[in-house]
Structure 1
C-alpha cells in the first residue's frame, strides 16, 4: 500500500471481530514503531502487549487503583504531573460513589475486552523537561507508525487514552517504571464495523506560507 493512500484510508476502529491476531503481525507493527524519528536516538518508547486474560488482570489492577484512590491510600507520585493526575482522578471517583464506580469499572472491563490485543505505550521521561517533551513526541510518532503498519496489514486499530494508565498500580502491573509517561493504549484486531468516510479540514486552511 502506498504511504499516502495508507494515511488517507486509515481510520479508527471501535468494533472488532473475534478473529485471532497472529503474533507475527503484532511484532511487525512493533518493529515499524521503532523506526520513528527520535532526537539523539533516545528510543524512548516502551510497549506492553496484553492478550487474553491479561486484559482482565489489567481491569483488576485498575479497580484496585480506583479503590485506593477513593480511600486516600494511593502513594503520591514523585513527579508533579503524576501527583496532579492521581489527585484529579481521586476527586472524580469520590463523586461517583460505590455503585457508579462499579459501573465505571464494568465499562472499562468491556472496553478492554472489546479488542483481542491491547498495546500500552509509554515514553521515558529523560533527564529534563526538553528531553521529556522530545521523547513524548517521538513515542507519539512511533504510535502513528504502528497504526499505519497495522492498516497496511489489514488490521484495525484505535489510539485511546485514559488517566488510569498513569496510576501507580497499573504501571506496576505493566512493569513500567514510575517516571515513564503514558502515551497510548492501542486497541488492535480485525475490523467488524462498516467503512466510514473520513473528513479533514483542508490543509490550506491550516497552513501559512511565510
Structure 2
C-alpha cells in the first residue's frame, strides 16, 4: 500500500519541470480521506447551524462530559477565523477529492502544484494540531467528527509528503526515500497513535472510572 500510494506514474526523479501523476492507490486514498473529512465538516456545519437556531440543541455525538461535540461547537476556537471552522473544511476537503478524482483519470501535475497541494495540507495538519491542543487542554472536550477530520488530514498529508519526497519534489536523503517507499504507513500510524495516547492520558480518570 505504501509503495503503491506514493509512486508516480511518470517514473524517475525528475527536475523542476517534471510532471507527475500518481499510482491508483494514492488517488483512491485522497478520494477516501477527502470524503471522510468532507462528511465530518458537513455534519459539524449542519449541527452548528442547528445550535445557532436553538441554543439548547444537543448534537448526536454529545455522549458524555468528555465526548461532547456541543461543548466544542460553542467554544471560541470553533470559529478561529471569524466563521465556523468546518466551512473551511467543506472547501479544503472538496479540493482533495477533486485532485484524487483527477489522478484517477490519469492527470499529471507539475512540481509547483504538488508542493502547493502539500503546503495546503501542512497548514491543515498545523491547524488540526492547534485544535487538538485547544480541545484537550482549553475546551476540555472531544468532538468525534473532529477526530475523523483530524485523522483524514493526517493520513493525506503524510502520503502526499511521501509522494513528493520520492519524486524529488522535496529534497531528502536517499535513506528516507527508501524508507518511505515501503513504510509510509508507519508515519501516520505513529502520528495518530500519539494523539490517541494524549487523549487516553488527558482523561485517564474518566476512562477508568
- TM-score w.r.t. length of structure 1: 0.32
Higher strand share: 1
- TM-score w.r.t. length of structure 2: 0.33
Higher helix share: 2
